[in-house]
Every structure is written in structure tokens, then in C-alpha cells.
Amino acid sequence: MRTRDFGRTGLRVSERGFGAWAIGGASFGAVPAEQALDALARAEALGCNFVDTAAVYGESEALLGRFLPGRRDRWIVASKYSGQPQGLTALVHEQLRRLNTDRIDFYQLHWAPRGKDEALFDELDALKRAGKLRFVGVSLRSAGDIDHVLARPGIDGLQICVSLLDPDPLLARLALLRARGVGVIARSVLKGGFLTGKYDAAARFTDPADQRRGWEPARIRMLAQQARAFDFLAASAGSLHAAAIAYPLSFPEVSTVILSCKSVEQVEANLGGAPPAALAPALLERIAQVQRQLGVSPASSGVRLWRRLKARIGLA
Ligand SMILES: NC(=O)c1ccc[n+]([C@@H]2O[C@H](COP(=O)([O-])OP(=O)(O)OC[C@H]3O[C@@H](n4cnc5c(N)ncnc54)[C@H](OP(=O)(O)O)[C@@H]3O)[C@@H](O)[C@H]2O)c1
């Protein structure tokens, strides 16, 4: 497993990280604890050293609290505050207990705070000075969020969606991210599983513990069709799944991609094998063309606007 700098923190993170939401068992189907612990151990054996969790990911933090003793120094642990009513500082203390650790390596606000919520940044600073949090940042959504958050000093890293179907906001803010030298965690790299090629337009999610339950058939149809537009990548990357992982890692501004892993099999598929090779510039150009055609690129807001308008006036 290759490692990359996490911004200017001095941390070296594995370029493929363990997304620990699914092992929490509350959002992508139930996961037995032993299966989750085996998955984490296999990830470690494959050289993964970065795990992303949150207090809202079911049993995820508690499982890490069982897993980490005896191997704490081998892992860089990221977690989040999602606006819990007890407040940020009280939650961090609970999380430290749950995670069985004395510090969290990278701590994120789960949204880009505005207005009075911006006082949370001072609270993060205080927790950092106290040594409870080593580095801090924000998990956010849009290019505007990136501008807003990076207007402040003291931000060590960001977490954003980056996939073949979500080139924005990364591409829209590459220069700023580079100039600020923040760590960048890419999430939703597999777009809910659609970029593995395992779902077609007829897919349905019925498990009551699956957060995708109730997704509109129209949304599933659209995601399946959009994912197929990248089938051509299989020839060079080996599979759509491999290309989906290689895409964010083709940008040096990205520090790590966090991949959803809830079993040893998924760990092997996502974190095992040869390190993903960066996609060639000509291939990235072709991807950008497809993204423009699909209306998902930063440059295609006009296309998106036209589609929304068409849908509204019943032409879609
Ligand atoms: N900050 C935030 O707001 C936020 C939001 C979402 C996620 N995250 C983080 O990002 C991590 C990744 O989650 P995500 O939602 O971004 O995931 P994702 O890349 O969009 O994909 C997750 C889905 O991919 C499927 N999958 C995973 N590995 C696969 C494989 N090898 N073959 C076939 N299917 C596979 C899983 O299917 P199954 O259901 O079959 O397992 C899962 O449903 C999370 O664990 C969490 O740490 C953060």
C-alpha cells in the first residue's frame, strides 16, 4: 500500500483508507462484530493505516475501541461531530472513551458551519491545544463550502465527495487546495456501489437497515446508466471498480480515498492488490468529456440547469 502526505500535518496516510460507516451496522445492513474486527485486521495487514468513523455510524466507534488497543500507533483515526446536542467538547470526551484512546488524529465537523455555528472552530482549536485532537477540519459538500472553510486559518484537512460522477468540488478548487496544502479525504468514490458495476437499473434496496432503502427507481436508473457511461475505463484500469478508485488518486491533491469495507472480502477487493495506477492525462480528458455530457462536471452547470428546467416543464 502506498502512502501520501496528509496535507502539511506530517502524517503519512495510506492512499486507500477504511471507511468505517458500514461496519457500524446501522446504515448498510447488519454486520456481526467479529466480521467487522476481521475486516479491520485484514486492512491493517494490507498496509491500510487510515480509518474514518463518526459518532453517528452505529457501533463503528465502539468496534474501533475494541480493535485499537495494542495497535493504536499503527492507525490514524479520523472521526466527526455531527451537531449532537451535548455539544462538541462533551462529545469528543465520549468518543475518546468509546475509541479507547487519548487522542483523535483528525477530527471533522460533519458540515461547513456558518453564522453562530462558526464558534465551533474556536472549540476545535481549544481541543487541539489540549492535545485531545491532533488535527482538525471539515467534511463538506460544495466548492462554496471549501472557500468558506479555507477562509479561516487552522484547517488541516477536508473531506469531500470525489468520484467519476462527482468531479465537483475537487476539480473546481484544485488550485486552492494545492495552495493551502490541506489534507484531502475523498469519499463516495464508489457512488453508493454503482461504480463497482454491481447494480443495474433494476436494482432495489429492501433491507430496513440500508439507508438506500426507498431510493426512487428513477434515481437508481439514472445512477446505473451514468455508471455505464464509464465502462470504457475497464479496458485500461482492469475494471470499472478499479478505475473508480484510481480516478481520485490520479490527483496529487487527494491524500486518501476512503472505501466502504464491511467484510474481509470487501477489504481484499478495495484495499488489496497492486496500488492503483494514476489514469493517463488522455484518459482523464475523455472522462471529463463524459462528465460534461452527463452534466456532472463543474463546467456543465448550464446542462444541469437545462435538465432541471426540462423536468419542470415536463419535457424530460
Ligand atoms: N462525511 C460524510 O458526510 C460521509 C458521507 C458518506 C460516507 N462517508 C465516509 O465514506 C466512507 C465510504 O462510504 P461511501 O458512502 O462514500 O461509500 P461509496 O464509495 O459511495 O460506496 C459504498 C457502497 O459500495 C459498495 N461496495 C463497497 N465495496 C465494494 C466492492 N468491493 N464491490 C462491490 N460493492 C462494494 C457497498 O455495498 P454493500 O452495501 O453491498 O456493502 C456500499 O454500499 C464511509 O464509510 C464513511 O467513512 C462520509
Question: Taking 60 as the threshold, does the pLDDT of residue 88 lie above it?
Answer: yes
What pLDDT shows up at residue 313? Answer: 57
Question: Taking 80 as the threshold, does the pLDDT of residue 309 lie above it?
Answer: no
CA dihedral over 245, 249, 254, 256, signed as positive or negative? positive
pLDDT bracket for residue 137 (50, 70, 90): very high
28 pocket-lining for ligand 1 (C-beta < 6 Å):
yes
Answer whether 296's CB lies under 8 Å from 165's CB.
Answer: yes
Residues 242 and 308 grouped into a single domain? no
Whether a cis peptide bond, with omega within 30° of 0, leads into 169 is: yes
Q: Is 237 helix (H, G, I), strand (E, B) or coil?
A: helix
CATH number, domain with residue 151: 3.20.20.100
Query: Distance from the CA of 111 to the center of ligand 1, in angstroms?
Result: 18
d(CA 246, CA 163) in angstroms, rounded, equals 10
Q: Which one, of 45, 11, 50, 1, lies nearest residue 256 by Cα? A: 50
Residues 228 and 305 grouped into a single domain? no
What pLDDT shows up at residue 213? Answer: 83
Residues 168 and 129 grouped into a single domain? yes
**Atom number, ligand 1, closest to the C-alpha of residue 80:** 1
How do residues 194-229 score in pLDDT, each as one tens digit?
999 999 999 998 888 888 888 899 999 999 999 999
Range from 25-29, 45-49, 191-195 carrying the lowest mean pLDDT? 25-29
52 pocket-lining for ligand 1 (C-beta < 6 Å):
yes
Residues 240 and 304 grouped into a single domain? no
165 pocket-lining for ligand 1 (C-beta < 6 Å):
no
Q: Which domain holds residue 294?
A: 281-316
What pLDDT shows up at residue 59? Answer: 97
**How many structural domains does the chain have?**
2
Residues 110 and 252 grouped into a single domain? yes
Residues 119 and 193 grouped into a single domain? yes
Residues 315 and 183 grouped into a single domain? no
d(CA 210, CA 213) in angstroms, rounded, equals 6
Residues 249 and 299 grouped into a single domain? no
Question: Taking 50 as the threshold, does the pLDDT of residue 93 lie above it?
Answer: yes
Closest residue to atom 26 of ligand 1, CA basis: 193
Residues 169 and 218 grouped into a single domain? yes
Share of the chain above pLDDT 70, in %: 94
- Mean pLDDT (the chain) is 94
pLDDT bracket for residue 107 (50, 70, 90): very high
What pLDDT shows up at residue 206? Answer: 87
How do residues 168-193 score in pLDDT, each as one tens digit?
999 999 999 999 999 999 999 999 99
As given in the structure block, the three cell numbers for residue 51 are: 480509518
266 pocket-lining for ligand 1 (C-beta < 6 Å):
yes
pLDDT bracket for residue 238 (50, 70, 90): very high
What pLDDT shows up at residue 316? Answer: 43
187 pocket-lining for ligand 1 (C-beta < 6 Å):
yes
Answer whether 305's CB lies under 8 Å from 174's CB.
Answer: no
Residues 267 and 183 grouped into a single domain? yes
User: Average pLDDT in the 38-51 region?
Assistant: 98
Question: Taking 70 as the threshold, does the pLDDT of residue 301 lie above it?
Answer: no
Question: Taking 70 as the threshold, does the pLDDT of residue 311 lie above it?
Answer: no
Query: Distance from the CA of 295 to the center of ligand 1, in angstroms?
Result: 23
Residues 23 and 153 grouped into a single domain? yes
Phi, psi (deg, nearest 5) at residue 267: -60, -45
Residues 290 and 181 grouped into a single domain? no
Number of neighbours of residue 151 by Cβ within 10 angstroms = 8
H or E stretch at 303: helix 301-312
